[in-house]
């Protein structure tokens, strides 16, 4: 598994993904800086900045990046009979599939770490006087990463099934666009994979309307259940797929 992980890492490290990984935290930081100017002395400055930055980052860019990463890790196998070459090696299909999922989640973890760094830099530049709420920030960042698990499993299933690089991305964009409306629905928001990262990252003190009133137990229960469904569905298709 370690050798497979290194192989997957070598495939994606030379791509443009690093530009995409850095772009979302930077844009979120710029938004938070503009929106939070003049609130340096106010209470709740960190949570306000976190909420503002999370909306842009987790509602739009994080779901899109999940689809991009899934397409990237399957791109080389779709070119020139790469799947046959890979599966001809002494590795199982389960190992291949789980390694690719692990790479996707690692890239999302790097993205979230940069988002946290961008938030800290934004608060420092704005001169927030209150202590940094480390537990809230870590829970938000980790929760957003965890909420990407179902989406990563779903996107990996789509990317491994479709040879086209653009098709999975187009599907991802189509389902990301309605996020603003669906995330505000208490009935549908928690069950919509593309809205779950934002619901998990918004600070609890700002969950004051629509789907933001859902409990963490409900949200993460849905995330865990949907992850298992998407993972088992994509994995079972991949291991039985004729290549």
| Gap between the Cα atoms of 77 and 23, Å rounded | 27
* Tens digit of each residue's pLDDT (9 = 90 or more) over 45-104: 888 888 889 888 998 899 999 999 998 888 888 887 788 888 888 888 999 999 999 999
Count CB atoms within 10 A of the CB of residue 171.
16
pLDDT tens digits for range 109-142: 999 999 999 999 988 888 888 888 999 899 999 9
- Across the range 164-172, mean pLDDT stands at 83
pLDDT (mean) for 162-187? 83
Task: Calculate the average pLDDT of the chain.
Answer: 84
Residue 241 burial (CB count, 10 A): 11
Interaxial angle between packed helices 62-75 and 93-126, expressed in degrees from 0 to 180 and rounded to the nearest 10: 140
Instruction: Specify the pLDDT at position 3.
Output: 74
Non-local (6+) Cβ contacts of 236 within 8 A are none
Cα–Cα distance between 101 and 3 in angstroms, integer?
15
Q: Is the pLDDT of residue 43 over 70?
A: no
pTM of the model: 0.89
Task: State whether residue 58 is helix, strand or coil.
Answer: helix
For residue 11, what are its two tokens? 């495939």
Give the span between the Cα atoms of 28 and 115, in whole angstroms: 8
For the beta carbon of residue 17, count every other beta carbon within 10 angstroms: 18
Dig out the tokens for 117 from the structure: 């760094």
Tell whether the model's pLDDT for residue 28 goes beyond 50: yes
Highest mean pLDDT among 2-6, 82-86, 152-156: 152-156
């Amino acid at each position: 598994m370690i050798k497979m992980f290194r192989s997957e890492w070598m495939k994606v490290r030379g791509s443009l993904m690093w530009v995409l990984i850095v772009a979302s935290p930077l844009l979120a930081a710029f938004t938070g800086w503009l929106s939070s100017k003049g609130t340096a002395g106010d209470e709740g400055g960190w949570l306000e900045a976190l909420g503002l930055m999370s909306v842009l980052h987790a509602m739009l860019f994080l779901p899109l990046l999940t689809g991009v990463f899934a397409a990237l890790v399957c791109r080389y196998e779709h070119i020139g009979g790469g799947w046959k070459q890979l599966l001809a090696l002494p590795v199982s299909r389960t190992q291949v599939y789980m390694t690719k999922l692990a790479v996707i989640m690692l890239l999302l973890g790097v993205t979230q770490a940069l988002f946290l760094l961008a938030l800290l830099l934004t608060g420092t530049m704005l001169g927030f006087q209150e202590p940094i709420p480390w537990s809230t920030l870590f829970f938000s960042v980790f929760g957003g990463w965890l909420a990407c698990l179902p989406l990563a499993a779903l996107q990996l299933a789509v990317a491994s099934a479709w040879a086209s690089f653009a098709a999975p991305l187009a599907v991802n964009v189509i389902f990301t666009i309605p996020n603003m409306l669906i995330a505000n629905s208490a009935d549908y928001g928690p069950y919509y994979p593309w809205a779950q990262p934002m619901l998990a990252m918004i600070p609890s003190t700002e969950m004051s309307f629509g789907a933001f009133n859902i409990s963490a137990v409900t949200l993460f229960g849905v995330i865990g259940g949907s992850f298992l469904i998407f993972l088992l569905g994509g994995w079972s298709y991949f291991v039985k797929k004729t290549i």
